[in-house]
Structure 1
Amino acid sequence: MHVSAAVWWLTILGIVGLLLFDFVFHVRKAHIPTLREASVWSALYVGVALLFGAGVWLFGGSEPGAEYFAGYVTEKALSVDNLFVFLVIMSSFKVPRADQQKALLFGIVFSLLARSGFILVGAALINMFAWVFYAFGLILLLTAGNLLKPESEEGHSPDNLMVRVARRLLRTTDTYDGDKLFTVQDGRRVMTPMLLVMIAIGGTDILFALDSIPAIFGLTQNVYLVFTATAFSLLGLRQLYFLIDGLLDRLIYLTYGLAVILAFIGVKLILHALHENNVPFINDGEPVPVVEISTGLSLSVIIGVLAVTVLASLASPKGRAQNTVSRARRYAQEYLDVEHDPELRAELFAKLVAEEEQLRRLPEKYRRRIREQDKLTALLRRAHEEHERG
């Protein structure tokens, strides 16, 4: 599918316009999005992505259209999994709920820039070296294997290399000043934790790009489709965060589904590499007659795996228990962090008590596991002791 320079520029200007609109009308004034606001704007961004895909199908043909949708669904699923890491970062830095939107929008913009750079590099490598498909396939297979390894929440450390460098080179403070990046403390201009949060999100985005770009190149090698599917999967991610952050811990099988999808795309890439082979030590540099996986089959597998894993997660008693534990932990921590707002503290404590009541209704095997979590038990006890002291 050939794309003219004019269409490229119109697409880029449209994406930049959506980001600017998001900032001016939603992020510039700090607030906590309501469920209705998050739902409406999430649906709007998904609708824009689907309309764009319909346009690709109509004007470019069914094959490019299917490639776009396969890439979009895969990238969207990976971005939802990345939201969990964003949640860990926000919790670790204790970002006020109303100020989280600015950090998330920065993360989206940085991610889009990082991925654009990786897309250009990936496209150049593919054009120059046929063996890159082997490399991308192996990367995805290794990534799929890593996703299957058990990993605790502590494994997603927000204190990455970029954050450590920023702490060393810049003056920082431990207190927020709204969503400002810098503030004045003791007559000196210092960096607030908000900038460190953005740096942490930016650092993790670079790692995410290393996984997602090989995945989408396994579905299409058209740079325009790779770019647009990636961009539209990121747009609306901020609204999606506030819409489903209460369900993120509930999706306990999503990681397994993503592992299956990445492994499937990895196999698809290696089969394609064998079909186009010119590596001297494989079949004497001649193409290997193997069956290639069609785009239609890829799209069906991706959607099917995601549907099964999401439905299984929502129906799982373990998922419900884990979600209840996560909410109780969050309300207890937020209650302890808030010191000067009695009305908000009362609201948070009431939510904590409600979640603890849900914990008591869980089956005994889950309650026993909760009692064995010393950190959680100590956190809940501290919240109650703090409430009793008034």
Structure 2
Amino acid sequence: MQTLAPLWLWIVFILFVLAALFVDFIVLKKQGAHAVSVPEAMRWSAIWVALSMAFNGLLWWAFAQDQCAAIANAKALEFLTGYLIEKSLAVDNIFVFLMIFTYFSVPPAYQKRVLMIGIIGAIVLRTAMILVGGWLISQFHWVLYLFGAFLLLTGIKMWWAADKEPDLEDNPALKLLRRALRVSKHFDGERFWTTQNGARIATPLLLVVALVGFTDVIFAVDSIPAIYAVTSDPFIVLTSNIFAILGLRAMYFLLAAMAAKFHLLSYGLAVILVFIGSKMMLIDIVKIPTLASLGVVIGILGVTMFWSVRTAPAIGASKTAG
């Protein structure tokens, strides 16, 4: 697979990601362990979205200078569509993070570090998977049909399980970790290891980090094929994916505070996966324009979020009077 992106744009992207992670680490270290408030999460979410759109503007300018305005428009639209799809699928990822943190009763002050480690792991993992996926598609066109069928089945499965409460006790990764490690019953600050009765054992926070990493693997398998339904350009695939991940930590704290209001969002994400999977399976029969795909994704998200807010249970509604 080839890209029309100039070399200097690759360099700018890599430097930006490294700088963003460095700043994130500095801010994290300076602030120390503390619970992230909703206003803080909103500010950081807005910053990450603004930076992503600024990069898309730079991407458009680079292609306009190096190629032509028509190609620049197409690439910028592909980036925007891919970014929105990956950002949407990250919502389901966030709800799983919330379940993990709730299950282990992780104090909000410790969640930032776990998410930071998860983001770095996701960047490394997805970069590798994007390169492998791109090579497979370039060598074997029929892989697109497999990706499409997988997304279609995943969307149907997500719809079926949307209203079911997941049980972390049955998670095979958690069972394996508990068999392999001695784990303390209590946290020891942000440490992953502690000493108990003279022996070095794991803290619950290490299990949380491991499960977050396992979750990254599972959701990368879903999201990487989805982006290839929009574009086959590895630069667009990689950049839209990574920019969606960079704002994941801020988006987690924002959505965690509003999870109850978006209780139907999993249904919308399921429909999006079915749409993307169907598009990939029909890629050689029906060419759905990128702009149309963007409109469908925005429409599904808009309807789902609106209906979620309209039907969200009122706080205290389940309490009986008296």
- Asked if these proteins are the same fold (TM beyond 0.5), I'd say yes
TM score, norm. by length of structure 1: 0.75
2:36 pairs with 1:38: no
Moved more, 177-186 or 241-250: 241-250
Please give the secondary structure, in 2, of the residue aligned with 1:189: strand
Residues 324-353 of structure 1: CA deviation (Å, up to 9, x unaligned): 4xxxxxxxxxxxxxxxxxxxxxxxxxxxxx
Give the structure 2 partner of residue 11 of structure 1: 13
Read off the aligned partner of 1:55 and give its amino acid letter: L
Cα–Cα, structure 1 residues 50 and 136, in superposed 2: closer, same or farther, change >3 Å?
A: same
The Cα of 1:315 is off from its aligned counterpart by 1.2
C-alpha contact (below 8 Å) 2:162/2:266 kept by paired residues: no
Measure how far apart 1:90 and its partner are.
Answer: 0.3
* SS of residue in 2 equivalent to 1:291: coil
Q: How does 1:344-383 map to 2 (within 5 A)?
A: 356=316, 358-360=317-319
1:142 aligns with 2:153: yes
Give me the whole-angstrom Cα distance separating, in 2, the residues matched to 1:302 and 1:101.
29
Distance in 2 between residues matched to 1:186 and 1:225, nearest whole Å:
52
1:2-29 deviations in Å (ceiling 9; x for gaps): 1244432331231122122112212561
Task: Please point out which of 151, 155, 176 is paired with 2:187.
Answer: 176
Preserved CA contact (<8 Å) 1:33 1:242: yes
CA contact (8 A) 1:78 1:258 kept: yes
CA deviations 1:49-85 (Å, max 9, x no partner) are 1111122233320111111000000110111121111
- Partner of 1:127, secondary structure, is helix
**For residues 1-390 of structure 1, what are the structure 2 equivalents within 5 Å?**
1-26=3-28, 29-60=32-63, 61-151=72-162, 154-157=165-168, 160-272=171-283, 275=284, 290-316=285-311, 319-321=312-314, 324=315, 356=316, 358-360=317-319
| 1:265–1:193 Cα change, 3 Å | same
Change (3 A) 1:68 1:361: farther
| Aligned-partner Cα distance in 1 for 2:46–2:82 | 19
Q: 2:140 & 2:271 partners in 1: Cα distance? A: 27
SS, match of residue 106 in structure 1: helix
SS in 1 for 2:318: helix
Taking the aligned partners of 2:306 and 2:29, their CA distance within structure 1 comes to 32
In structure 2, what residue type is equivalent to 1:315?
R
Distance 1:197 1:159, change over 3 A: farther
State the Cα deviation string for residues 349-375 of structure 1 (Å, max 9, x = none).
Answer: xxxxxxx4x53379xxxxxxxxxxxxx
1:336 aligns with none
> TM-score, normalised to structure 2's length?
0.90
Equivalent residue of 1:148, what SS?
helix
Q: Which moved more, 1:4-13 or 1:43-52?
A: 4-13
SS in 2 for 1:126: helix
Distance 1:84 1:254, change over 3 A: same
Number of residue-to-residue matches in the alignment: 310
Which shifted more, 221-230 or 242-251?
242-251
Change (3 A) 1:151 1:309: closer
Secondary structure in structure 1 of the residue aligned to 2:282: helix
Secondary structure at 1:16's aligned position in 2?
helix
Q: Is the 8 A contact 1:172 1:190 kept in 2?
A: yes
Q: Is the 8 A contact 2:126 2:220 kept in 1?
A: yes
C-alpha displacement of 1:158: 6.5
Larger relative contact order (CA 8 Å, sep ≥ 6): 2
Letter in structure 1 aligned against 2:53:
L
**Counterpart amino acid of 1:320?**
P
Distance change (3 Å), C-alpha of 1:158 and 1:37: farther
SS at match of 1:31: coil
What are the Cα deviations for residues 216-245 of structure 1, in whole angstroms up to 9, with x where unaligned? 111111111111111111112111211221
Q: Is the 8 Å Cα contact of residues 92 and 158 (structure 1) preserved in structure 2? A: no
CA contact (8 A) 1:88 1:153 kept: no
Residues 174-227 of structure 1 deviation map (CA, whole Å, 9 limit, x = unaligned): 110111111222222221111110001111111101110111111111111111
Alignment CA distance shift 1:247-1:78 (3 Å):
same
The one-letter amino acid of 2:179's match is: R
Identity within the alignment, %: 39
* CA contact 1:160–1:200 (8 Å) conserved in 2: no
Is the CA contact 1:141–1:263 (under 8 Å) kept in the aligned structure 2? yes
